[in-house]
Amino acid sequence: KEVEHVPTPGSKVFLLRGGPPVAVPQDRAGFVGAHKYSGWEMPLDLGYITHHVGVFGATGMGKSRLVRALVEELAKRGLRIVIFDHTGVDYAPYYDNVVKSSEIKIPPNVLASVIAKMADLPWQSYGEYLEIATMTFEGQWSKDAFVAHVKRTMKRLNARDTTVERVELFIKHFIDPQFFADLNSRGKTPADVLSSRQPVAVDLSWDRELAVKQAIVASVIEEAWAEVRRAKEPRPTVFVIDEAQNYAPSDWAISKDAIETTAREGRKWGLSLILASQRIAGDIDPSIRANLGTVFFSRVTAPTDLREISAYLDLADVNEGVLAQLQPREFFVVGLMNPLRRPVLLKIREVK
């Protein structure tokens, strides 16, 4: 038979004469693409979604297409899926149920972190005052009303006059009045997002400030954990986080604790993560990326990324030279979902 696919230069070639079928239970098998050279549709073991998934590749390699194919397979199994679309262009246009981030309420404790971040007020010094102020504020939100309330709160807590003045000055200087006005139009709770028709895409482009986007992600994930604590049983939910370097960075972020807790403890309670990003090393916190049981990766932007994956997953002979020749929609899959437990190069299928 004529050879239709030319192997990547330098790669080893083996002749396979058949063998036992790859065994993945039918109720756990999902298909996102086929082996590039043979056309074999390799089943992924979706039962390992609770061990979390990372999707990494340079811009234009088709990360969002792969994630959408994975979401399509997971949705067939009735899983609750929440997709956080950072830019509003990669996921939101493809789903029927889309929630604008500007409609979602931010719980008081998370809102305090947002205000501290936006006003450049160190949490260690001012967090307690802001948290109590956001929890006790009543009435219509406005910048002047909140500043007056936080001043009263701080004085009742015996804060120094200079401390009160600093909070007032920094909030007035750094935070736009529209931020507070917009709080009045946030009518949907994180619980509403979780209970809406699935899968649901949260369009984060409706909020400009990264701190607010992070707060939305944190609020929805924390609500899922609250459900677990109330029910004392698993609540199978998959959180897809686009441009994850903005939400789970090596530095502190409002959303990082919720994501890190889910990465570390979510498996027992059915809470899963799919993190998509251009970079691995340096962009995603080490404690989070070390908990990714399955990784899809394509052409990456730095050699350190490949070394990072090889530190905890078997990459066999995959190297930078091989990755440099990959075309869009071509991804290696390694880790628990891969039944062969060796890197397999997939051509991701078309998705709607």
- Distances in whole angstroms, Cα of residue 67 to Cα of each of 24, 64, 247: 21, 5, 17
**Rounded CA gap, 262 and 235, in Å?**
12
pLDDT band for 135, please (50, 70, 90 cuts).
very high
Distance (Å, rounded) from C-alpha 223 to C-alpha 122? 26
Q: How far is CA 14 from CA 5, 11, 17, 23, in A?
A: 14, 10, 10, 21
Tell me the torsion sign for CA atoms 60, 29, 78, 263.
negative
Quote the pLDDT of residue 159: 97
Q: Is the pLDDT of residue 2 over 60?
A: no
| Whole-Å CA distances, 182 to 19, 107, 178, 274, 345 | 62, 14, 6, 30, 46
| 20: amino acid identity, one letter | P
Q: Could you please report the per-residue DSSP string of 162-231? A: HHHHHHHHHHHHHS-HHHHHHGGG--B-HHHHHHSSSSEEEEGGG---HHHHHHHHHHHHHHHHHHHHHH
Q: Among 6-15, 45-54, 262-271, which is the least confidently predicted range?
A: 6-15
pLDDT band at 307 (very low <50, low <70, confident <90, very high): confident
Count of beta carbons in the 10 Å neighbourhood of residue 232: 7
pLDDT for res 4: 62
Segment 61-72 mean pLDDT: 97
How much is the pTM? 0.90
CA 305 – CA 322 distance, rounded (Å): 14
* Residue whose pair of structure tokens reads 């397999």 in the numeric block: 344
Name which of 152-161, 255-264, 338-347 the model is least confident about. Answer: 338-347
Q: Each residue of 153-168: pLDDT tens digit?
A: 999 999 999 999 999 9
Confidence of residue 272 (pLDDT cuts 50, 70, 90): very high
A 10 A CB-CB count for 193 gives 22
Q: What is the pLDDT of residue 285?
A: 93
User: In terms of CATH, what superfamily is 29-103+188-348?
Assistant: P-loop containing nucleotide triphosphate hydrolases (3.40.50.300)
